[in-house]
Amino acid sequence: MRSLRRKLSLLAALGAAGVLLGGCSTASAVRVHPWERAALADAAMNPDRDPEGTAMTEHVYFSREAASGGRGVGGSGCGCN
């Protein structure tokens, strides 16, 4: 009796988890509406919209941290050489 109750509670928990996680994968939740596409295609949304500003920021970061690279990826140097 105890193992049956445990199995049923486990099955109910798995079913509830499946319903909760399955709701996140619906197509309507990630759909971009046509009137929202203009905001997403704006130049301000581009991370490399200002190459000179990015270069200056990287230079300041290198000067302060004695490291270069690592923008967008893991790892960078410590400048110990």
Secondary element (H or E) of residue 28: none
Q: Kindly report, residue by residue over 11-68, the tens digit of the pLDDT.
A: 888 888 877 776 666 666 667 788 888 888 888 888 778 889 888 888 887 777 666 5
pLDDT band at 4 (very low <50, low <70, confident <90, very high): confident
| CA-based nearest residue to 64, from 74, 72, 76, 73 | 76
CB burial string 29-65: b at 16+ within 10 A, e below? eeeeeeeeeeeeeeeeeeeeeeeeeeeeeeeeeeeee
